[in-house]
Structure 1
Amino acid sequence: MLLLAFLAIFPLCLIWAAASDLMTMTIPNRLSLLLAVGAVLANVAAGSGFVDIGFDVAAGLLVFLLCFCLFASGVMGGGDAKLLSACALWYGLNGSLLAFLLYVSLMGGVLTVLIVMLRSSQHVLLAAGIPIPGLLLTAKKIPYAIAIAAGAFLAFPASPLYRMALAQFGL
């Protein structure tokens, strides 16, 4: 039961991060921290060994190094980099990290196309009275936490923590 409580942290933080990024173009640091701590606690509750937790931490560090390079070159925002790195802890090197990153990339492409289309037809949408967050139209950025959350939800059923939770309940 404790594992399920820790697993609930994952979707709740992702939904919060996506909503925050959509409305304010920022992702609170506490969400990334909560996701990182939640991943370790979920692994402990699932009975993961030290080596498995080490692989998860290695995945987070590897993604952080890649994201830091992207952030330093101006390609990625700092909040997105921290959120993506914290999410990587939930997948680990032994798990479905590559599937997670692939889903995030695909969802990011879809999101970007949708936002470009939205921004190009904003006058029509606003004239029709469709409410759109102002920052979404005026900012030059893409609220990538939405893509990170969507990719995480798509990849989560293949994650080691999800499989361990199913095994604990005999499913």
Structure 2
Amino acid sequence: MLNLATLPDYTLLQWLVISTFPVFMLAAAASDAASMRIPNWLTGTLALAFPIAAAGTAMPLEALGWHGLVGFAALLVGMGLFATGWIGGGDAKFFAATVLWLGPDQVLAFTLISTVLGGLLTLFLLSFRKLPMPGPLAAQGWIMRLHDPKEGVPYGIALAAGGLIAFAQSGWLAGAA
């Protein structure tokens, strides 16, 4: 049972910062699973929420600069991967917006975790796509897209899961305590 007395004594702003990132991660994963797309408005809003959260939590300017630098570098890497056809454009932008939030301390962990989870997701989908589709599930368009071997992999699911795992270890949570 949840004991309210043991919850950290966060301010409203800290609760908003702590909840904003996970909400966007879950929304991106759900969108990618349902439609094989991560909307630009979602990624853009996530990126725009970062400086607001940083200012509201008094992130030092040096840290803000490093977050911006690794976020920009992630965008360049993501666009390179998109240009080669390895990932979708939404995944590239979502990767960069997530790295912007996580910063230099978590970028490597996030990338490694997301890569492993993406590989597992790919293996799962390859196996799933070989199975016959039960009738009730065949009526669900989004499940049929996931089942279609001609479709890609909704990599945003792996990126979101990796982002949530890295966020749990980030300075955002440590700084809110």
**TM-score strictly above 0.5:** yes
1:107 aligns with 2:139: no
User: Quick check: 1:32–1:83 contact (8 Å CA) kept in 2?
Assistant: yes
Q: Please state how far the C-alpha of 1:41 moved relative to its aligned partner.
A: 1.6
1:126 to 134, 150, 156: 134
RMSD: 1.4
Instruction: State the AA in 2 paired with 1:24.
Output: S
Could you say what secondary structure the match of 1:42 adopts? helix
1:130 and 1:25 map into 2 onto residues whose CA distance is 18
Instruction: State the AA in 2 paired with 1:27.
Output: I
Q: Please state how far the C-alpha of 1:6 moved relative to its aligned partner.
A: 2.6
TM-score of the aligned structures, taking structure 2 as reference length = 0.86
2:101 and 2:174 map into 1 onto residues whose CA distance is 12
Could you list the structure 1 runs, at least 4 aligned residues long, displaced by more than 3 angstroms after superposition. 129-132
TM-score of the aligned structures, taking structure 1 as reference length = 0.89
Q: Which deviations, in whole Å up to 9, do the C-alpha atoms of 1:95-133 show, x marking residues without a partner?
A: 211111111111101111111110011x1x425x44661
Aligned residue pairs: how many?
A: 162
Structure 1, unaligned runs of 5 or more = 167-171
Q: Please state how far the C-alpha of 1:27 moved relative to its aligned partner.
A: 0.6
1:98 aligns with 2:108: yes
1:1-171 alignment, distance < 5 Å: 1-93=12-104, 95-121=105-131, 123=132, 125-127=133-135, 129-130=136-137, 133-138=143-148, 139-166=150-177
Q: Please state how far the C-alpha of 1:160 moved relative to its aligned partner.
A: 1.8
User: Quick check: 1:7–1:42 contact (8 Å CA) kept in 2?
Assistant: no
Q: Please state how far the C-alpha of 1:3 moved relative to its aligned partner.
A: 2.6
What does residue 169 of structure 1 align with? none
1:6 and 1:37 map into 2 onto residues whose CA distance is 13
Structure 2, unaligned runs of 5 or more = 1-11
1:75 and 1:12 map into 2 onto residues whose CA distance is 26
Q: Please state how far the C-alpha of 1:140 moved relative to its aligned partner.
A: 2.3
User: Quick check: 1:6–1:41 contact (8 Å CA) kept in 2?
Assistant: no
User: Quick check: 1:104–1:152 contact (8 Å CA) kept in 2?
Assistant: yes
2:86 and 2:163 map into 1 onto residues whose CA distance is 21
Instruction: State the AA in 2 paired with 1:69.
Output: G
User: Quick check: 1:90–1:159 contact (8 Å CA) kept in 2?
Assistant: no
